[in-house]
Amino acid sequence: MPKTTGDTALAARVPPGPRGNVVFGSIGDIYRDRLRFVLETARTYGDVAQYRVAHTRVYQVNHPEGVGRLLHDNHRNYSKDVPTFGTLRMFLGNGLFTSDGEFWRRQRRLAQPAFHRRRVATFGDLMTGATREMLDRWQPRAERGQPLEVATEFMRLTMEVVTLALFSTSVERDVETIGRAITTLLNDVTFRFTFPFYPPLRVPTPRNRRFLAARATLDGIVYRIIAERRRRPAEHDDLLAMLMEARDEQTGEGMSDKQLRDEVITLFLAGHETTANALTWASYLLSTHVEPARRLRAEVDETLRGRVPTAADMPNLSYTRMVIDETLRLYPPAWVTNRRAIEDDTVCGYRIPADATVSISPYVTHRDPTLWDNPEGFDPERFAPERSAGRPHYAYFPFGGGPRQCIGKGFALMESTLVLALLAQRYELHLVPGRRVEAEAMATLRPRHGMWMTAHPR
Ligand code: HEM
C-alpha cells in the first residue's frame, strides 16, 4: 500500500528504479520493448519508480492513488510542457490536447457544450450510416473468403465519422485528401517520437518537406471551410458550427480562425486513431474468445432484432459496452501520458522534484495483479456494476481523468458500441491463421503488423 499522497516533502523518499546504461540510461531497454519495460519497472519497483532516458529522469507513477494525485487532486502542478506534446504541437498547434493553463481552461469551456451527451447522440445516425457502408464494402471479400486488414478499415471509418461530425457535408469531396494528409502527419509524428533528434522542420529534408506539404493541404481545406462559414453562418449543425458559435462568458469573444484550426485538427487526430484501435483490439479479442463473442451476438440479436441501432439503444447494449470497457483495459489506445512537475510534490510517499518528467500508463495500472483478478484474461463482465464496486477510482483510466479527461469519451463510447453492434449483426470476424498479432506502443497502442481477418456473413 502506498503512503498517503500529499505527505510532507521531508518524509518523502526517492523512488527506486533500474540503473540502466551509464550514458544512455534505460533507452536501450525502452527501444527494445516499451511495454515490457514499463510493466517490468512497475512490477519490480512498485508504486512509483524512476529511470533515466539519456539526460532526462522519468518518474513512472503506477499506483491508482498516485495517478489520481497527478490527474485530479494536484493536477495544477502538472503541465503538458514535455517533449511528446511539443512534437504534437508541430501538427496540432495549440489546441485542447496540447495547451495548458488559463488558455486551455478557456478553450475547454468553449468546446465543452459541443460534446454534451444530447449533442453527441445526434451523431448516432452518421456513425451507423458510415459503418453500414463499410460493412457493405466488405461483402464481396466476405463471400470469397478473402482477408481484410481491419485496422486500416476501422481507421478509414473513424476518420470519416469524425470528419463528417466536424464538417457535415462541407467536405464530402475532401474526405480522401484529408485522410491522406492526416495519415502522413500522424506517421511522421510517430517517427519523431522514436527519433526525437531528427532535424527540425526548418531543415528541408524530404521528410520535413512531406510533413509541411501535408500540413499545408490540411490547413488549406480547414481555413477554406472556416472562411465559407464566416460568410454564411448558421447553415450547419456540426461540431465546427458549435465551436464557431461558442462565446467566452466573460468577454463575449469567440475563437479566432487560427484557434478554430488548431481545435479542428486536434479533434481530427484525437478523434479517430484511438477509436479505430479500440475497435481493432475488440475484434481481435472477440475472435479469440468464443463465449464473449457469442454473448455479444445474443445481446445484439435480442435487443435490436435486426434493425439498425440508435443512440437510444445504448442502455440496452450493456454487454457490448462491457466488451469495449474490457478491451480498453487490456489495450488502452492512449497507453501512456506524460507531464512535467511544476513544483516539488509527494506522490505515494515518494518525492517528485520540480521540473521532473512524470509518466502514467493505463496499460500498466490496468494489468496490476494487486488491482485486477487474472489481469491478462479477457473478462468483460468484470465491468458489471456488482463486480466494479470497491475498485479504486484510478485503477481504470483509459480516458485519463480529472479536468483533462478526454472530451470525446462519450463520442468514442457511443461510436464503438454502435460499430461493434452493427458488425456483430452482420459478420463474425476470424483471425487469419499464421499472421502475427503484436501490440506496438507508439503514440497509440496499435497492432504492429495490422490485423488480418476474414469476415463470415451470419
Ligand atoms: C477510444 C477512444 C479514445 C481514447 C482511448 C481517448 C483517450 C484520451 C486520453 C487518455 C486523453 C487524456 C490525455 C492526457 O491526459 O494526457 C484524451 C484527451 C482528449 N481526447 Fe480522447 N480518446 C478517445 C477518443 C476521442 C474522441 C472520439 C475525441 C473527439 C472527437 C477525443 C478528443 C480528445 C481531446 C480534445 C482531448 C484533450 C482534452 C483536454 O485536455 O481538454 N478523444 N483522450
Average pLDDT (254-281) is: 94
Helix axes 409-426, 290-304, angle to 10 degrees: 90
Q: What is the mean pLDDT of residues 337-354?
A: 97
**Burial grade of 364 (CB within 10 A; 0-12, 13-18, 19 or more):** buried
For residue 178, the model assigns a pLDDT of 86
Q: State if residue 397 touches ligand 1 by the CB under 6 angstroms criterion.
A: no
Protein residue with its CA nearest to atom 39 in ligand 1: 404
pLDDT at position 20 is 92
Looking at every residue in the chain, the average pLDDT score rounds to 93
For residue 321, which of 383, 238, 236 has the smallest C-alpha distance?
A: 383
Q: Which amino acid is at 311?
A: A
Residues 81-119 have pLDDT tens digits of 998 888 889 889 999 999 999 999 999 999 999 999 999
Task: Provide the CB-side half-sphere exposure for 126 (13 A, CA).
Answer: 22
Give, using CA atoms, the residue closest to atom 7 of ligand 1: 399
Given a cut of 90, is residue 232 above it in pLDDT? Answer: no
- Contact indicator for 410, 117 with CB cutoff of 8 Å: yes
- Tell me, in angstroms, the distance from the centre of ligand 1 to residue 154's CA: 17
What mean pLDDT is predicted for residues 328-343?
97
Indicate if ligand 1 lies below 6 Å from the C-beta of 192: no
- Percent of the chain predicted with pLDDT > 70: 97
DSSP state of 343: S
Residue 145 has pLDDT above 50, yes or no: yes
Q: Percent of the chain beyond pLDDT 90?
A: 80
Which residue bears the cell 465546427? 240
Q: Which residues pair with 358 in a beta bridge?
A: 59, 339
Higher pLDDT, 10 or 385: 385
Q: Are 254 and 246 in contact (CB under 8 A)?
A: yes
**Alpha carbon separation from 295 to 292, 323, 451 (Å, rounded):** 5, 10, 23
With H, G, I as helix, E, B as strand and everything else as coil, classify residue 339: strand
Indicate whether residue 138 lines ligand 1 (CB < 6 A).
no
In this prediction, residue 207 has a pLDDT band, given cuts at 50, 70 and 90, of very high
Instruction: Examine the pLDDT at 2 and tell me if it is beyond 70.
Output: no
* DSSP 8-class letter at 34: H
Instruction: Report whether 441 contacts 359 (CB < 8 A).
Output: no
Q: Is the CB of 282 under 6 A from ligand 1?
A: no
Task: Give 458 Cα–ligand 1 centroid separation in angstroms.
Answer: 34
Under 8 Å CB-to-CB from 129, ≥6 apart: which residues?
Answer: none
What does the pLDDT read at residue 11?
66
Centre of ligand 1 to C-alpha 361, Å, is 14
With a 6 Å cutoff on the Cβ, whether 429 touches ligand 1 is no
Neighbours of 233 (CB within 10 A): 11
pLDDT tops 50 at residue 328: yes
* Average pLDDT over every residue of 205-232: 93
Read off the C-alpha cell for 287: 475472435
Nearest CA to ligand 1 atom 37: 97
Distance from Cα 394 to the centre of ligand 1, integer Å: 16
Buried b (16+ CB within 10 A) or exposed e, 307-338: ebbebebbeebebbbbbbbbbbbbbbbbbbbb
Closest CA to ligand 1's atom 21: 406
The two beta strands, 337-341 and 357-360, are antiparallel
Assess contact for 69 and 80: CB atoms under 8 A: no
The Å distance, Cα 142 to ligand 1 centre, comes to: 33
Examine the pLDDT at 9 and tell me if it is beyond 80: no
* Contact predicate 272/181, CB 8 Å: no
- The Cα 189–Cα 194 span in angstroms is 9
Q: Is 70's pLDDT higher than 80?
A: yes
pLDDT at 168: 83
What pLDDT is attached to residue 170? 65
399 lines ligand 1 (CB under 6 A): yes
Q: How far apart are CA 272 and CA 83, in angstroms?
A: 23
Residue 415 CA to residue 421 CA, distance in Å, equals 10
Which pLDDT belongs to residue 194? 76
* Residue 4 binned pLDDT confidence (cut-offs 50, 70, 90): very low
Q: Is the pLDDT of residue 186 over 50?
A: yes
| CB of 162 shorter than 6 A to ligand 1 | yes
Q: What is the 230 CA–ligand 1 centroid distance (Å)?
A: 28
Cβ 66 vs Cβ 36: under 8 Å:
no
Indicate the range of 305-309, 375-379, 388-392, 439-443 predicted with least confidence.
Answer: 439-443
Residue whose CA is at the smallest distance from ligand 1 atom 15? 400
Which pLDDT score is estimated for 320? 98
* Buried b or exposed e, range 251-288, using 16+ CB within 10 angstroms: eeeebeeebbbbbbbbbbbbbbbbbbbbbbbbbbbbbe
Q: Residue 275 C-alpha to ligand 1 middle, in angstroms?
A: 10
CA of 412 relative to ligand 1 center, distance in Å = 9
Identify the weakest region by mean pLDDT among 88-102, 105-119, 227-241, 406-420.
227-241
Name the residue type at position 336. Answer: V
**Most informative mutation of 91, 260, 330, 406 for ligand 1 (most atoms within 8 A of CB):** 406
Band of residue 7 on the pLDDT scale cut at 50, 70, 90: very low
